[in-house]
Amino acid sequence: MLNQEHWVLVTNRAVEAMKKNLKQASFVGQCMHDVPRRSCAFLGGATTKIYIVNVPAAAGKEDIKDYEDLDVTMWMPHWPFMWDHVAAFDAQFCQTYERSLPGTSITFQYVLFHYSQSTIRGIADADNNFVRTLLRQRGITRLLPWYGEILIAKYFFKLLPDEILGLVINDSSWSAWMALNYTNMRLRRLVQESVRRRIKHFVGLFFADALEIFFHLLGSNNALITGPLVRCIMSVDNPIYTQVYPIQLDIILPRRYAFGSFDSFVRSQGYHGENTGNVEMSLRKGLKRFHTYLSWNGVMKVCLLLATDDKTLPGLLSAPSSSQMFALSHTRLYCFYPQLFAKRQFLYIRNDVDDIIMPPYEEFNFGLWNRDGLVLSEPCGETCPVLWRRITAGGGVAIMRWGGFHGDKDYGKHVSPPDYFVQSEKSKFDHLLSEYNLGPVDNVLSLLRHSRGVVFGSMALGVIQDLLFEPHDLNLLVGCQGRRSIERYIQNHGYRLVQEQTGNMGSTVSCLTTYSHKVTHRQITLTVSRAHSTLAPLIQAPSTLQMNFVSWYGAVCLYPEQTLQNKGLVHFSENEDGLLLDRYEQRGYRITYQGNHLGHFCTAQPRSIQSPAVHVVPFLPLDETRTAIKSTDIMWRLNGKCCEDFARCAVFVDVRNYEVVEVHTPADESL
C-alpha cells in the first residue's frame, strides 16, 4: 500500500507517456476557457522539471494547514472504460464538465476527481499500478490519447510549512530535487538540508567520529568521492538503495602529495592497509595507483585512487558505463548523465566492457534498467555519449550545491532553469508590461538590447517574485548613448514629456525624465546614467530591495538571499532618506541593517552579475545568456567593513565591459 509519506505518485514511463500525449491536446485548454482555474504543481517523473498545470478552481482545498490537506486531483476526459475503473474509488469530489470546442460543433466531457489522503493510500502501491493500469487500457492510442494528469499540493510553493515540505522533499526523486532547487530560496534551503543529512549519513558509515575533518581534508586537497556510495545518496526515491549497502568508499586524489594526508587520516580512524598496486590503463585512464584499507571488523573498505596529474576528472570519466559517472566534492554533487539516471537507464560508453571484471555491474548498476547495455529505443538527445559536455549546469551535467558540512559554502544557482519557469517569468513580465501600451514584449526586449537599457524598480521586483501589490509605474534605466532610442520609442507609443530634472542628481545620474500616456495616463520614468555603465545608479539604490532589473537577456536579482525572503538591507545611516523605503515596509518587506557573519552573502563582498550569489532568470538559451552577461557585466562592492552592524555602505563600481575575470572555487579548479 502507498504509505502516507510517499509522494512520487506516477512512474517515469507514465510521465513520459502523459507528457508526449498532452502536447497533442491543445484543445483541452480551449474547451475549459470559461472555468475558473488554479495553478497546481506536479512533482516527480523522468525530468528535471516541475510541471505547473491549471486545473478547475473547484479542485482541492484553498487553505492548507495540515498534512491531511495535501490532496490529489486528477482531471481527464470522461471515457466509459476509465470511468468504470475509477468509480470504484470513493472520490470526495467528482464533477463533469461538458464543453464545446470554440468555432466547432465538437463536444467533450471532462471529469474532475478529487481524492483525500486516506483515499490515495487505496489507489495504488509504491509501483503506481493505478496509473499503469489506466495507461494499458484499450483505446489509449494516438487518436485517443491520455489527457489526464495527477497533481499535488495546491499553492505548496508559498503556503506549506517547512515540516510538510520536508516530507515532500524527503520522498522526492533526484529530478524533483533539481527542479525544486530552482524554484525559490526557501525550497532550495530545505532541499540542501535534506541532501546534507543524506551525505552525512552515508559518509558517516565510514568516518562517524571525524566527518568534519574528513570534508575539510576533501576540500583542501580537491578530492572527489565516487562509486556506489554517491549513487546511494542520489537514489532517494528508489528503495533498492537500502538493499545495496555501500561498504566501500572510493576517493580520487588529484595529486601525489595528497596521499600522505589521507593515508594518515584513514589509519587514524581504525583502518589498516589491505592492498596497493597500479591501476591498469585498460580499466581507467587518468588513474595511476590504488590503496585499499579495511576497517577493524573487516566489513568497511576505503579505496584511495591516485590520479596521474592534478585533475580528478579524467579518471572519473574513463568509466565504461554512464551509470558510474557520479561524484561528490566537499560542496557539490555531480551527475554527468542526469536524464539517463532519472529514467533509470544507462549506456555503455566503451566497447571493452566484457573484458573488465571490476567493479561488478550487478552492484554498480543497481536500480537501473537496460542492464544489457542496448541502445535506447528513443533518440538519446542530450544523453548521447558522443556529444561534448562541460562541467557546468548548462553543459548537460546536473550539479547540486549542497553547501558543505555546515551548509555555508558554495551556494548559488546550480542547475539549468526548467523551461516552464523561464517561460512563466517572461510571461509575467509581459503581463506587467501590458498596462503601458508599449507593444509586444519581444519588441521591448529588442529595444533594451539595442539601447543597453534595463527595467528596474517595482516592475523588476514583480518579475523576480510574486507581489502582493500591483506596480503602478514603469522605471527605465539607460546610459547616455541609448537615451534617444528609448525616448523615441515611448513617444511613438503615445507618451509625452511632462517633467525633466537635471539638478542634484548625484554622481551617477545625469537626468530624470517623466512621461505620461495621453489616454491611460500611465507614467514612465526614465533615468539616464552618467557613468559608462548603465547599472551604476542601480547599485546606489537605498536598499538591496531595489537592486533588481530586467534586461533583454533575462531578469536579475543582485541580492536574492535577502530579497526572496522579503528582506532588504539599508545602505545609508538611519537619518538619511528613510522616507524612500516607507512604501516597502507598508507592503510587507522588512528593512534591516546588515548583520554579522553573512559569509558569502555579505553585501560588502565584491561580486558581479556572473557571481553564483546573483540570481539570473534567463529569457534565452544559457549559452546566449552567458555571452550577453559578459558583454555588459560589472563588478561592484558595497563599501564598509564586512559583516559589521550598521555599516555605512557607500558604493564602488568597477566596469569590466571589455573582459570579465571569473573567480573559481577550488572545486571548480579540480574539475
Cis-peptide, bond into residue 359, ω within 30° of zero: yes
Q: 590503463: which residue's cell?
A: 281
Residue 42's pLDDT is what? 42
φ, ψ of residue 56 to 5 degrees: the values are -55, 140
Residue 525's pLDDT is what? 92
Q: Which amino acid is at 445?
A: L
Q: Which amino acid is at 606?
A: P
**Cα 286 to Cα 290: distance, rounded to the nearest angstrom:** 12
Element containing residue 443 per DSSP (H, E): helix 441-451
**Cα 10 to Cα 8: distance, rounded to the nearest angstrom:** 6
φ, ψ of residue 276 to 5 degrees: the values are -150, 155
Cell of 81: 472504460
Residues of the chain with pLDDT under 70: 1-173, 175-176, 179-184, 237-245, 256-257, 281-285, 342-344, 348-396, 410-425, 466-470, 561-562, 564-566, 570-605, 612-613, 622-623, 638-671
pLDDT by residue (tens digit) across 271-307? 998 888 887 765 566 788 889 999 988 888 999 988 8
Q: What angle do CA 588, 592, 597 make, to 5 degrees?
A: 130
**Cα 81 to Cα 88: distance, rounded to the nearest angstrom:** 12
Q: What is the DSSP string of 358-387?
A: SS-HHHHTTT-S-TT-PPPSS--GGG-TTS
**Cα 201 to Cα 204: distance, rounded to the nearest angstrom:** 5
pLDDT by residue (tens digit) across 585-627? 665 566 655 444 444 445 566 777 877 667 787 787 766 777 8
Distances (CA, A) of 143 to 19, 133, 146, 314: 15, 19, 10, 49
Angle separating helix axes 419-433 and 441-451, nearest 10 degrees: 90
Cβ–Cβ under 8 Å, residues 405 and 327: no
**Cα 493 to Cα 512: distance, rounded to the nearest angstrom:** 20
Domain locations in the chain as residue ranges? 12-169, 185-401, 419-662
Residue 78's pLDDT is what? 39
Residue 600's pLDDT is what? 43
Residue 537's pLDDT is what? 86
**Cα 637 to Cα 624: distance, rounded to the nearest angstrom:** 26
Residue 297's pLDDT is what? 85
Q: What is the DSSP string of 421-432?
A: HHHHHHHHHHHH
Please tell me the pTM assigned to this model: 0.46
